[in-house]
Amino acid sequence: MTFSDIFKSSFLENVASVSLPDMALALVLAFAVGMFIFLVYKKTYAGVMYSTSFGVTLIALTMITTLVILAVTSNVVLSLGMVGALSIVRFRTAIKEPLDIAFLFWSIAAGIVLAAGFIPLAVVGSVIIGIILLIFANRKAGSNPYIVVLACDGQESERQAKAFLTEHTRRCVVKSKTARAGKTELNMEVRLKNDDTDFINALSELAGVQSAVLVSYNGDYMG
């Protein structure tokens, strides 16, 4: 075979380049691994609103990647064309959760490894990755942080409110402070001693405290 023979291509010759059993086995395994990735994503999701469509996308992405790599590995000319075609594709969908990026790369990597024929690596590697994500993604912190939005009418009431929060919470840190004529607004991060939030009622009844709002906070959003 000469160098020019490598780049000769025929449509009819490509028909039998990948056998039906190989195609069926690769796609079935891709579906199984993609389903496993989907289940791990569903169990570890901790965002604001769960999206079923993204989970289904993980399954489809694994199978599509497997399909593309099967074609690429069977034809050198096609592999060069794929590189050129995929280089102009741009995806505009915003990824809201950082962990979603890991799942996208996991799906693509699993599809590539399966199509390359490294079935044990794809299966065993996916199982190990899934176990690690289940352990660490579902691991909860010792206590959930909260933000207390406090409005006071003077420095004395502000000092009393801080002392009250220090006494009734495990940790209290001022995040921001806004001072206006006759009014002070504070944003304070607190860690509760327990799940009881009744202290916010008593805080709002202190002299000089105009309002006290407790908001759950996880570093990404408030709600």
User: Could you give the number of structural domains in the chain?
Assistant: 2
Q: What is the pTM of this model?
A: 0.62
Residues 6+ positions from 218 with CB-CB distance below 8 Å: 144, 145
Are 23 and 132 within one domain? yes
78 shares its domain with 175: no
Query: Residue 219: pLDDT above 70?
Result: no
Is there a contact between 186 and 158 (Cβ–Cβ < 8 Å)?
Answer: yes
**Structure confidence at residue 213 as a pLDDT band (50, 70, 90):** confident
Put the strands of the sheet holding 169-180 in their side by side order: 169-180, 183-192, 145-152, 209-216
* 178, part of any domain: yes
Taking the C-alpha atoms of residue 117 and residue 119, their distance in angstroms, rounded to an integer, is 6
Confidence of residue 221 (pLDDT cuts 50, 70, 90): very low
Tell me, yes or no, whether 28 and 122 share the same domain. Answer: yes
Q: Quick one: average pLDDT of 49-75?
A: 83
At 143-155, the pLDDT tens digits run 678 888 888 887 8
**Better-predicted residue by pLDDT, 152 or 4:** 152
Q: Is the same domain home to 86 and 170?
A: no
Residue 222 pLDDT more than 80? no
Q: Does residue 222 lie within any of the structural domains?
A: no
Residue, of 183 and 182, whose pLDDT is higher: 183
Average pLDDT over the chain reads 79
Give the Cα separation of 35 and 25 in Å (integer). Answer: 15
Range of the domain at 38: 3-137
**Of 80, 110, 137, which residue constitutes the final position of a domain?**
137
Give the bridge partners for 185, in sequence order. Answer: 151, 178
Quick one: pLDDT at residue 32?
95
As a whole-number percent, the residues of the chain with pLDDT over 70 amount to 74
Least confident of 104-108, 162-166, 211-215, 217-221: 217-221
Is the pLDDT confidence value at 66 over 80? yes
Q: Does residue 58 sit in the same domain as residue 130?
A: yes
pLDDT at 132: 92
pLDDT tens per residue, range 82-117: 655 555 556 666 677 778 888 989 999 999 899 888
